[in-house]
Chain A
Amino acid sequence: MEPVVLKTVQEKINQFANKEVYIHLETTNGAYASHHDESFFSAGAYIRNALVNYELGKITGNGPFRVGLKIQLGWVYAEGITHFEIDDQDRLLLAGHDPQGKLAVALEISLTPFT
């Protein structure tokens, strides 16, 4: 992955617009967060292979970035995106890493289901 290049990511988001795409979205503090620090309130969310069709998608902010996809009756949204990759399967992988490289958030878009 490499640091977000706004123009490249926005172009890729545009390419997927108005198509059936599979979404992976997750955010997590890690399973041990509350074990290491009892005062820490741990939360996370995960959805894999949600099939959506968005009419509009945007990446915004000054970094870390925010990405929002407007789907027919609602939204898909991720905050804290720092890195991107368009992989060999032509999927857009977006991720937010903390300074140690720990994954804090991921939003991925693909024309084929994630395995």
Chain B
Amino acid sequence: MEKERHVLVVFPHPDDEAFGVSGTIASHVKNGTPVTYACLTLGEMGRNMGNPLFTNRENLPEIRKKELKDAVSALGIQDLRMLGFRDKTIEFEDEKKLADLIYSLIEEVNPSLIITFYPGYSVHPDHDATGAAVVRAVSQIPAEKRPKLNCVAFSKGCVEELGEADIVNDISPVNDIKLAAIQAHRSQTQQMFKDMSEKLKNQDPQILAWLNSERFWTFKFQAPLN
């Protein structure tokens, strides 16, 4: 993994950072690279209330905020920005305002690498809208000065349309940190973690591949038309 000046991670939900990218984040932190994580919402619309129920619609955000902080501390991220948007509403926000907000964050932390979702290939409308806002913000920067933009994609058919991911990080040296980050989001991952720890114990090749490698697509900006 290349040494970066500063990494900016932009995702809409607490736990978005845990699954596909936390090993990459942990590797950068371990490398001594400062990481800023801008998390747009508190995942207020999460549906998993447990059986037995552990919370209700109104108290869930506080629980998820705490889990987010736990995950961030497990990863060693020192700069967490909670941007105060509401879960499932990102696509309805003013696109320019959202992009301007992200642009000001880019100006402030001056990242050499930004990680977000690939717009159009990330399934959840909040994911796509967040990725689109980041792309819009970065495209305002002259091409030669732009930070690298690495995107997570996982929609059906994304590989057919985007080609194979051009960045695949082996994060096995920090996979324990990744697991801790996933586990920190207890309200969302407890059930899944139960299934996973059994497979991990059995060294299930599929789960190991999923755990140890993280893939990104470098965003391809359209060349100017003239």
Contacts and interface: CB of A to CB of B under 8 A. Distances in A.
B156 A35 contact: yes
A46 B56 contact: no
Interface string A1-28: 1000000000000000000000010101
Interface stretch (B41-49, B96-104, B131-139, B176-184): B41-49
Chain B's interface: helix, strand, loop or mixed, by majority? loop
Interface residues of A, number: 26
Nearest to A99: B51
B60 to A, nearest CB: 9
A105 B155 CA distance: 27
Contacts of B88: 31, 46
Contacts of B52: 101
A102 B124 contact: no
Contact of B49 (A30, A38, A87, A103): A103
Q: How many B residues are at the interface, by size bracket?
A: 10 to 19
B51 A95 contact: no
A24 B49 contact: no
A108 interface: yes
A1 B155 contact: no
Best-buried of B49, B51, B52 by chain A (most CB within 10 Å)? B49
A90 to B, nearest CB: 12
Given A31-B88, A103-B49, A93 B58 contact: yes
B32 interface: no
Interface string B51-63: 1110011100000
B49 A102 contact: yes
B56 A93 contact: yes
Contact of A93 (B51, B57, B125): B57
A32 B123 contact: yes
B125 A108 contact: no
A101 B51 contact: yes
Interface in B24-73: 45, 47-53, 56-58
A95 B54 CA distance: 13
A74 to B, nearest CB: 23
A28 B53 contact: no
A104 B57 CA distance: 11
Best-buried of A28, A31, A93 by chain B (most CB within 10 Å)? A31
Given A28-B47, A30-B47, A101-B49, A95 B125 contact: no
A92 to B, nearest CB: 11
Contacts of A26: 45, 57
A58 to B, nearest CB: 22
A19 B73 CA distance: 45
Nearest to A44: B88
A63 B49 CA distance: 19
Interface of B: 45, 47-53, 56-58, 88, 123-126, 155-156
Q: Which 9 pairs show the lowest CB-CB distances between chains A and B?
A: A101-B51, A103-B47, A102-B47, A31-B124, A101-B50, A106-B57, A101-B49, A35-B123, A1-B53
